[in-house]
Structure 1
Amino acid sequence: MPQMIFDDTDGTLGLLRDSVATFATRFPGAQRLRQRRAAGTDLDREVWAGMAEAGWLGLTIPEELGGAGLGAREQSVLSEALGRELISEPLAFLAVFSGALLSEAEATVERERLINGLIDGSLIVSPAVQAANGSIAPIEASASGDGIKLSGEAHYVNAAASADEFLVLAAINDEQALVSVPAASAEISQRPTLDGSQLGKVSFSGVSVGADRVLAKGAAVDAAIEKAVASTRLALAAEMAGIASRELEITVEYTSQRVQFGKPIASFQVLQHKMVDMWADAEFACAAVVNACERLEEDDPKAATLAILAAKARAGDASVTVGRRAIHLHGAMGFTDECDIGHFMKRAVALNSALGQPEALRLEFVALERAA
């Protein structure tokens, strides 16, 4: 079955895959997803604590900052395995995105506090940097004594109700700043998403924070945001590649057991053709993520960015398309809540919309490719 293939001379990637498989025996993804949906919560604290214990939250944070100091390959393999097991806690945003922002921030006591809390799971640090149209955009801010005052809204915030701290992008006198804001100072509203998780809107009405909470300013903020978006898009692509691969496996298993006209329906040629198409989509998604990881290791930022855009678009299309075909091949069973395949499909749709739909990413790809 499709899977991302990398050289693994020291066995690290194999250990990561095994750790997720073991983790899933303690916290079955589909079961936990249903429980969280029924409870109406945006984060399963027990699962998140288990992720912290496994060392996943600081996987790509540099060692000198307390993280594991691993790279894109390791994060991609972890995210792929999480997708396969349908472990749906928002690690891509709460760990990868926030971790990248904090890693690029200035070395301050506040940064150290946030990074340490993120890694050990004692703090839920959620990025609040998106506008209503999904773009990365700052909210308005003004100088207030020794600190700043924030007024505005951030949208599509993961684990907004569970967060302890928000990382907010603010505009102060035409200069951008990255600011940490206590979650208790914001007004939060949430709405359920297709996969049973929650996304929040975070509103700030004249919220004042001290100067010690300004983590970065100016060009450093732009660099941090660029790195965070690219890293998170790649993690999302890897997770969706894992979902696509697992959707195919589940379908092959089901059609091999489902008997009609005295034969397993997997023996029917028309179904075999459909599953070959599903295999190709999942395989290409895995290959696109591998290519992006390899491009990141080269000294060519433009090529790396193009490869990440292509991987997110390819994996997004694949996970949704394979999911639709899988539900079709399951027949009426595929639409029931008890059947896991529908939850994989819904998770794919939710991840596909995060940080750019495939169509938007392709337009961004073309614009960047044609730029001088």
Structure 2
Amino acid sequence: MTLFLRPNADPADQDRSRFQMMERAAELTDLASIEARDADAFLAAAEHERIKSAFYYFPSLYFDAWSRTHMLRWERHAGSILVYLIRQRRDSSGAKANAQMSLYFPPFPFDPAALRHALRRMRDFNSKRSSKIVIVQEAQVLRIAREGFVISLRCEEFIYDRAAVMALEGSGFRKLRQEMARALRQGMVETRPFTPADQPACLALAEAWRQRLVANRMKIGVAYRHMAACLTVADPFPPSLLKGLVVKVDGEARGFAFSGPITSTMGCNYLCITDLSLPGLALLLRYHLMARFPDLIHFNDAHDAGRPELRNLKQRFSPVEMHGVFSAQERWTSE
């Protein structure tokens, strides 16, 4: 079933085994795993909070919850969704230490009572060590700082005006127009919806991408695992939430991308991989994917992972906002 978990294993069985590896696992049994059926609840909460960040994109959360190295768990409190990250800590020698719990997002919709509840849970689990919020989007920073947290910038996300990108008018889109036209001159170019028959060719593209990053000593992060998930186990999600495209050149798959809505107005350019020997293809694929969501107003293309070439590519779409994403560390108190 999965490319990135133990082969032929039931994810629920692997989930239980990870629980067993952690000390004090009984303290987590009242928290729920993130399931595909939870999508509507998460989308409604994101809508209410006017979420912008790509980190909230529900399929990404769903696939990230399957990691070998950590778990995502959630609960409701005071009408808010609370998502927790539980990670196995290691000491200075590399040996496993106690598990550490962080709040993945501030409560959404935000509620001070829900935050206080989360802090109590984390302090109990972490033996009163100060608590951390992993992802704080820009609009939440002041609110979270007032609750006693020290704020640090994590990254900036590229947000595009979808209608402006579709129109491709003006000098700001001149390079994008030129590079997309160049991509179309490289052969018979066809962009169409992803189907299961495309899986082997797209997995090969993903592996080539991974090997290129390894060869260049660049961080892969969770991206490869998310690619494999989209290509192999995305069935629980309808195209309205997770839509895939494949671009073929002269009949051969040379790229794929997945996207979907964060809210009713904000989309997420979730993943996009193309053959780098064909310049402009990544731009063309992103453009066609945004075109498949006519009801959305903006698209979040996530951050640039510290890679200058990726930053340059995303700048081609003339972002209307560089959206700050932060982390937050609770100020230490002796209570």
TM-score (norm 1): 0.28
- With a CA cutoff of 8 Å and minimum separation of 6, indicate the structure with the bigger relative contact order: 2
* Structure whose residues are more often helix by fraction: 1
Which has a greater percent of strand?
2
TM-score normalized by the length of structure 2: 0.30
